[in-house]
A and B are shown apart, each in its own frame.
Chain A
Amino acid sequence: MLAKRIIPCLDVTGGRVVKGVNFVALRDAGDPVEIAARYNEQGADELTFLDITATSDGRDLILPIIEAVASQVFIPLTVGGGVRTVEDVRRLLNAGADKVSFNSAAIANPQVVRDAAGKYGSQCIVVAIDAKRRSAEDAQRPGPDGQPIGPGWDVYSHGGRKNVGLDAVAWARQMAAYGAGEILLTSMDRDGTQAGFDLELTRAVSDAVPVPVIASGGVGTLDHLVDGIRLGGADAVLAASIFHYGAYTIAQAKEHLARAGIPVRRSTA
C-alpha cells in the first residue's frame, strides 16, 4: 500500500538555505544541494522549499537553487512562499519543481488555483493553509447559514498575521474542488511549540477533502509524527526543526513509524 511520507521543510532566502535559531535569528545552513542530498540519503520522501524572502526582488533567487537541487537529487520537490500567478508556477516547474504551493494568493484570488490546476494538472498544485483555532469572540460571527459559526479554525494569510474570516475546513474543501491536488495544513497554534500537531484540525480537514493532506506545525517528538498519521489521518507529515537541529534523522523517524505499524518507504526495500 501507499507509504506515508516524511517531508523535511527547508527555508530559503537570498538564494541560500537558512535556519532560524529559536525561530528568530537566521543563519546560513549550508549548501542547498548538500542539504537536499543528505536528506535524500536519509530517506526523505519529498523536499519542501519555502521561500521566506520578504520582497519580490529577491524572489527569483530561489530558481537557481531549485535548478541545482533538481539536477542532483531525484525525489519530488515542492516550492512555496510568495507564489502568486500561473506564470510563477510555470517558472518554478521549469526550474525543476514538481509541485508549487499557493497560500495568500489563493485567498486573494481563488481562481488562480483553478487556472494553475487547469493548465498544469492538480498533481502539481498544493494549497497551503495556515489555520488557527477560533477565539470565543470569533465563534460568534455569522456562518454561511446566518447562525453563529461556532468553534472551529480560521484561515490566516500573510504569514499568519491576518485572519481572513474563512473556515479552514470549508476552505480546504473549496480548494480541493478548485483543483488543488494536495493540502499543506499548518496549525498556527502549534507551530514552533514542539507540542505536537493539532490532531483535531488535521482530522477535520483530512476527513473533509478527497486529496492528500500534509500535516505541519508542532512536531517535537517522533510520537507526534505517528499521531499525525494515525489520529490526524494525515497522508504525509512535514517537519523542520526536529531534523534541522539534528534531534532525529529521517531514518530514525521512519524506523519509529515502521515500528508503530505505519507503512513507510525504507531506503533498503
Chain B
Amino acid sequence: MNTLLPRETVAVVDYGMGNLRSVAQAVMHAALATDHVDVVVTDNPQVVRDAHRVVLPGQGAMPDCMAELERSGLRAAVLHAAANKPLFGVCVGMQMLLDHSEEGDTPGLGLIGGRVVRFRLEGQQQPDGSRYKVPQMGWNRVWYGFEHGAAEHAAPHPLWAGIPDGSYFYFVHSYHAHPADPAHVAAVTDYGVRFASAIARDNLFATQFHPEKSADQGLALYRNFLHWNP
C-alpha cells in the first residue's frame, strides 16, 4: 500500500544567538529514512508560525538571548508555537521558558512557572575529592525515572522512549532551571545539587543539555521529538 505522508516542517528559531547549524543537522540526521521532514533554520516569524514543530536553541547569556528574541521580532512567533505545537527548547532555550533568571535579573517567557539560578558550588568537592567547576562542562547522567524523584507522575515522558534511564548527555552551563511545579520536571541530574535537566508541560519539552552534541542518545531524543504528537 502506498500512502502519501504529508511533509512536516521543523523550524529552528534563529534569533541571532550563535550557530544553529549543528542543531539543524542533528535534527535532520535524527529523522528516519521514512520520515518526511524539512528542517529549516529561520529568522522569519511567519516560517515559525507555519512550521509543524519548533526547536528553540539558545547559547550565551540569558539577558542577551531575551533581548535578541525581542529585537528579532520572533518572540510572538515563539509564544504562538508554545501555545499550538510541539516545541523543544535547548540550553538557554530551555531557561527562557521559565519566569525569571537570576542571570542579569532577566524575565523569561513565563511559559513554565519557576526560575533559573546559578550553581553555588564554590569550595565544594565532588565525591572523588576534586573541586566542582562552574560551568559544568561535559557528560553527565540524566535520570527520568520515578525512583529518582524526577517527576511526581510515574510514567516517563514519551520523549525518553528507547533511551536508557541514566544515559549520559553533554552539558555546558552555569545556571539551571528550578520549576515551581515538580510535575514539570521531566528529568534530573546531579551536580552538587539535584537539578532539573529536562522540563516539560503539555506540548513543551526542553533540555539543559545539548542533544545535538550528545551522540546517539541525543539523536534518539530528537527522533522521538519528530514523532511526538502531544
Which positions 58-85 of chain A face chain B at CB distance < 8 Å? 70-72, 74-76
- A102-123 interface code vs B (CB 8 A; 1 in, 0 out): 0000000000000000001111
Which B residues are in CB contact (< 8 Å) with A122? Answer: 135
User: How many angstroms between the C-alpha atoms of A123 and B175 in the bound complex?
Assistant: 13
Cα distance, A262 to B130, chains bound together (Å): 12
Q: Does B127 contact A (CB under 8 A)?
A: yes
Asked if B29 is at the interface (CB within 8 A of a chain A CB), the reply is yes
Q: A123 to B138, alpha carbons, bound, how many Å?
A: 11
Which of A1-9, A159-167, A243-251 sits within the interface?
Answer: A1-9
Known: A76-B213, A96-B19, A212-B133. A2 touches B139 (CB 8 A): yes
List A contacts of B85 (CB < 8 A). none
> By the criterion CB–CB under 8 Å, are A1 and B138 in contact?
no
**Residues of chain B within 8 A of A267, CB atoms compared:** 215-216
CB neighbors of A among B19-65 (8 A): 19, 21-22, 25-26, 29, 59-61
What range describes how many residues of A lie at the interface?
Answer: 35 or more
| Complex interface: stretch among B66-74, B162-170, B178-186, B200-208 | B162-170
Q: Name the contact of A233 in the complex, choosing from B60, B130, B218 (C-beta under 8 A).
A: B130
Kindly list chain B residues whose C-beta atoms are within 8 Å of the C-beta of A212. 133, 137-138
Check B25 against A70 for contact (C-beta < 8 Å): yes
A93 to B215, CA, bound (A): 19
On whether the beta carbons of B61 and A121 are closer than 8 Å, the reply is yes
Is A211 part of the binding interface, using a Cβ–Cβ cutoff of 8 Å? yes
Q: Which residues of A contact B128 (CB under 8 A)?
A: 1, 261-263
Taking a contact as CB atoms closer than 8 A, the residue among A70, A123, A268, A269 that contacts B21 in the complex is A70
Question: What is the CB-to-nearest-CB distance from A173 to chain B, in angstroms, rounded to a whole number?
Answer: 14
B157 within 8 A of A: no
In whole angstroms, how far apart are the Cα atoms of A38 and B213 in the complex?
16
Q: Cβ of B60: which chain A residues have Cβ within 8 Å of it?
A: 120-121
Cβ of A130 within 8 Å of any chain B Cβ, yes or no, is no
**Is A198 among interface residues, defined by CB-CB distance under 8 A?**
no
Task: Say whether A240 faces chain B, with CB atoms less than 8 Å apart.
Answer: no
- Assess the A74–B213 pair: CB atoms within 8 A: yes
Q: How far is the CB of A134 from chain B (nearest CB, A)?
A: 26
* Chain A neighbourhood of B22, CB < 8 A: 70, 74, 96, 98
Q: Which residues of A contact B168 (CB under 8 A)?
A: 3, 265-266, 269
Say yes or no for B141: interface residue by CB 8 A criterion: yes
A18, CB-defined interface residue at 8 Å:
no
A235-B133, A236-B138 as given contacts; A2 in contact with B172, CB under 8 Å: no
A211 to B133, Cβ gap below 8 A? yes
CA distance A211 to B216 in the complex (A): 27
A28 → B minimal CB distance (Å): 26
Q: Which residues of A contact B218 (CB under 8 A)?
A: 74
Contact A74 to B212, CB < 8 A, known contacts A1-B140, A45-B138, A235-B138: yes
Q: Does B190 contact A (CB under 8 A)?
A: yes
Interface string of B109-145 (1 = CB under 8 A from A): 0000000000000000011101101111111110000
B18 at the interface (CB under 8 A from A): yes
Contacts of B139 in A (CB 8 A): 2-3, 5, 45, 265
> Please, could you name 23 A-B residue pairs with CB atoms under 8 Å apart, sorted by A?
A1-B128, A1-B141, A1-B190, A2-B140, A2-B171, A2-B191, A4-B138, A5-B138, A70-B25, A74-B22, A75-B213, A94-B21, A121-B59, A121-B60, A182-B137, A206-B130, A211-B133, A212-B137, A235-B130, A261-B128, A267-B215, A269-B164, A269-B167
| Besides the known contacts A1-B190, A269-B141, 13 further A-B residue pairs in the complex with CB atoms under 8 A apart | A2-B126, A2-B138, A3-B138, A70-B25, A75-B215, A98-B22, A121-B59, A122-B135, A181-B135, A210-B131, A233-B130, A235-B133, A267-B216
